[in-house]
């Protein structure tokens, strides 16, 4: 996929169609164009937050880490208790 510089921010790199000289339209530009063509309304596309998926992956990684640490803690070696003579019970 070729890369085209945005008209509003020349440092931003935006994926676009196969033309390096193409015009990259923003959501507000499309909203204005569709309102003039089709009448008033909300023509903005649904764009989910780009941080949602990575944040859920971090959360899943933390959960797996906590589960693995709990498993290590529960399976740690423990000292063997041996009863001693005359003490009244096991002593560890």
Tokens of 43: 């023509």
Look at residue 16 in the predicted model and tell me its pLDDT: 56
Mean pLDDT value of segment 44-56: 79
Q: How far apart are CA 64 and CA 79, in angstroms?
A: 28
Lowest-pLDDT range of 22-31, 59-68, 79-88 = 79-88
Residue 24 carries which DSSP code?
Answer: P
Q: How far apart are CA 81 and CA 78, in angstroms?
A: 9
- C-alpha gyration radius of the chain: 31
Q: Does residue 50 or residue 75 have the better pLDDT?
A: 75
Contact 44, 38 (CB under 8 A): no
- pLDDT tens for 4-44 read 444 555 444 455 555 556 666 788 888 899 999 999 999 88
Q: Which DSSP helix (H) or strand (E) runs through 5?
A: strand 3-5
Look at residue 48 in the predicted model and tell me its pLDDT: 72
């Amino acid at each position: 996929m070729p890369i085209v510089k945005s008209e509003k921010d020349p440092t931003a790199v935006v994926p676009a169609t196969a033309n390096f000289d193409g015009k990259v339209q923003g959501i507000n530009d499309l909203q204005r164009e569709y309102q003039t063509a089709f009448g008033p309304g909300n023509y903005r596309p649904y764009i989910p937050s780009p941080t949602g998926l990575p944040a859920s992956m971090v959360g899943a990684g933390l959960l797996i880490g906590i589960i693995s640490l709990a498993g290590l803690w529960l399976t740690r070696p423990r000292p063997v208790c041996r009863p001693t003579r005359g003490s009244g019970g096991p002593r560890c």
